[in-house]
Each structure stands twice: as C-alpha cells, then as structure tokens.
Amino acid sequence: MHEKSIVRLNQAVADEMTAVHRYMYFHFHCDDQGYDLLAGLFKRTAIEEMVHVERLAERILFLKGEVELVAAEEVQKIHAVAEMLKLARAMEEQSAHDYNLWANECGNHADNISKKLFEDLVADEERHYDQYDIELENMDKFGDHYLALQSIERSKRRASGGPPAD
C-alpha cells in the first residue's frame, strides 16, 4: 500500500543521509580550524537530520516498505567556511521545496500521515535554512573578524579551564 509514498520517503532518507554526512564533515573541519560556534551548529544540525532519517524510516516500515539507507550524494571536500554555509543553505532550501511538494503528493493519494510527516520536516528545514542564512549574514557583515572571534573564544575557554564546546 502507498507505493508512491514509499518512493518519496526513501528519496527523503537519501537526502537526509547526504545532509548527515556533509554536516558531520563540516563539523570536523570547523572544529579543526578552531571555529567552535560553527562546529557546534553543524553537529547539532547533523543530529537533527539523523532524527529525520529515523522518522522517515519508521514510516516506511509501517507502510511495509524497505528502507534504502544510502546517501543521494557524496561529501564534497569543502574546507572554506563560507562555502560550507552556502552549500548547507542551498541544501535546506531544496529540501524544504521538495518536502512541500511531496507532502502535497501524499495528501493527493490519501496518505495524510506521510503528508503530515513531510510538513513537520519542512518546518525543521526552514529553521535550518534560517540558521545558516544568519551565519552567512554575519560573515558578510563582520568579515574575517567573525571567524577570528570564534578562535579567540576557544582560546579564552581553554585558558580558563572551561568545558570544550560540542
């Protein structure tokens, strides 16, 4: 039942897996470069995308489908922070766009639970879009100072024996 929904749900799983991989890659590299604020942001968002995978997988199994746990796209080896944020923002925009369409599709063939799930995900992806957009605005506004400040924050925290950022 609901074969069409299962196809869309699996497409979403593949996109979410891509996001998990890319955001974790960005997390490692921001952490390596000393940018704790962004490292934390990418990590927390990757975890939220992982929860999306879980919710989608539960729905697929409920519909008696098989979860195709593969990423749609590969990790791009981006190390420049502005490029990371631009890619992440574009990914969120695309996801919000796709999930809106797929919510409507599911509704059109009387699968309102999948519809509701896609609508819930749209709300999260729009919030993710906004958080990356704000960071890009900060970079535009403050230039290199924006990144320098993050490195200084880490040094201060380490010098005072504070806990490491996540």
Closer to Fe ion at the Cβ: 87 or 149? 87
**Among 15, 19, 12, which Cα is nearest to 84's?**
19
Closer to Fe ion at the Cβ: 15 or 31? 15
Q: Which residues contact 144 (CB under 8 A, 6 or more apart)?
A: none
98 scored as a contact of Fe ion (CB under 5 A):
no
Which residues within the stretch 29-68 sit at the binding site for Fe ion (CB under 5 A)?
49, 52
125 scored as a contact of Fe ion (CB under 5 A):
yes
Interacting span for Fe ion (CB under 5 A) from 22-30, 71-79, 87-95, 101-109: 87-95
Distances (CA, A) of 56 to 17, 25, 38, 99: 11, 23, 27, 12
128 scored as a contact of Fe ion (CB under 5 A):
yes
| Shortest reach from residue 159's CB to Fe ion, in Å | 35
Closer to Fe ion at the Cβ: 88 or 139? 88
Separation CA 135–CA 147 (nearest Å): 11
Interaction site with Fe ion (CB under 5 A): 16, 49, 52, 92, 125, 128
